[in-house]
Amino acid sequence: MRLFSKCALAALLSSALCASAMAADTIQFKMGFVDPASSSYALGGQKFADELKKLTNGQIEVQVLGSGTLGGEREMYEGAQMGTMDIITCVNTVMSQFIPEMSILDELFLFDSVEQAHAVADGKFGQLVAQKAEAQGVHIIGWLESGFRDTFSKNPIKTPEDFNGVKIRTMENKMQIAAFNALGAIATPMPAPEQYTALQQGTIDGCENAVGNMQINRYYEVIKNVTNTKHQFTYILVGVSDRAWNKIPDELKPKVYEAMKTAVAWQRNNLSEINAQAIEDLKKEGVNFYDIDREALKAKVVPVMEEMRSNVPQEWVDALNEAKASVAAK
């Protein structure tokens, strides 16, 4: 009996030691998003976490945290630089504050199709961004996206002239401000959380965002018009800090890129489905959708945007134009 007890105890201790060793071998990271866990972007992050765990047989585990749990995008990027963050996400309009060459992506009416936008992110331009970020201690592993942004307004905007005098909330971004002013609107920069109340109180007449966000943020309760301006494409880049990257064995690093490639493809499709469903749902809520002459809008905005890109190196401009042209050629 005593011999059995000793054997059983030895087996239990051995099992516990094995479990402890396995836990010690598991590399655990935290991945932050400013958007809720239910957003397409955070769901894309979860897809990445699931794929990476599968591809590494559980050696790397990623905990996805939404709603700004790890801080704002600027805070997260700075944290990655300092090594206090593991995996961060950052919209291109914020990243351009760290990598000024990226400001060209802030231009309005830069792309005519999602294919053009994808070609830029997936090509030489994306590589240039990765090189700059790596020099700052951040390894870019993929580009998720928020997609095209449209214009939401209290009164219908059907022609370029309808923008005249309309107070439109913009991001605190010089490109957006200059572009909407060029259209004759009154650009009114303010933090995103203030938009709903500002629309209610008449402080602003409209705003702009991806159509899915009109539904998520319930703007349709106070404004009923969407104009399909498709004026700007927004990316959400995923970066890994040097500290976290150096914890990953060299043989597993390709798996990180592979998992993110799968997640990016999944998220792009997911966002498309979300926006399509949002349009159907918003129409049921009485929201009207209008097409507009985008070429007429571009004629007013593009010259202003090109003036503002004067500090962007020609190599970056060429990389962007070549990617766009490659899509046109197809």
pLDDT, tens only, 10-35: 555 445 444 444 445 899 999 999 98
- pTM to 2 decimal places: 0.88
pLDDT tens by residue, 211-237? 998 998 899 999 999 999 999 999 999
- CA–CA separation, 321 vs 57, rounded Å? 41
pLDDT at residue 36, rounded to an integer: 87
Phi-psi region of 233 (alpha: psi -120 to 50; beta: other; left: phi over 0): beta
- pLDDT of residue 4 exceeding 80, the answer is no
- pLDDT of residue 6 exceeding 90, the answer is no
CA distances from 166 to 90, 188, 199, 227, 292 (A): 30, 10, 12, 13, 16
Are 41 and 236 a contacting pair, CB within 8 Å? yes
pLDDT tens by residue, 108-167? 999 999 999 999 999 999 999 999 999 999 999 999 999 999 999 999 999 999 999 999
Where does the chain show beta strands of DSSP type E? 27-32, 60-65, 87-91, 138-153, 167-170, 186-189, 206-209, 225-241, 288-290
- CA–CA separation, 169 vs 8, rounded Å? 69
- pLDDT of residue 2 exceeding 50, the answer is no
Are 275 and 212 a contacting pair, CB within 8 Å? yes
- CA–CA separation, 74 vs 172, rounded Å? 14
Phi-psi region of 300 (alpha: psi -120 to 50; beta: other; left: phi over 0): alpha
Average pLDDT in the chain:
92
Q: What is the CATH number of domain 28-147+234-329?
A: 3.40.190.170
Structure tokens at 6: 């000793």
pLDDT at residue 266, rounded to an integer: 98
Q: Where are the domains of the chain?
A: 28-147+234-329
pLDDT at residue 329, rounded to an integer: 67
pLDDT tens by residue, 307-317? 998 889 999 99
End-to-end CA distance of the chain: 78
Structure tokens at 290: 């209008």
* Residue 300: burial class (beta carbons within 10 Å; 0-12, 13-18, 19+): middle
Are 62 and 263 a contacting pair, CB within 8 Å? no
pLDDT at residue 217, rounded to an integer: 87
pLDDT tens by residue, 189-205? 998 889 999 999 999 99
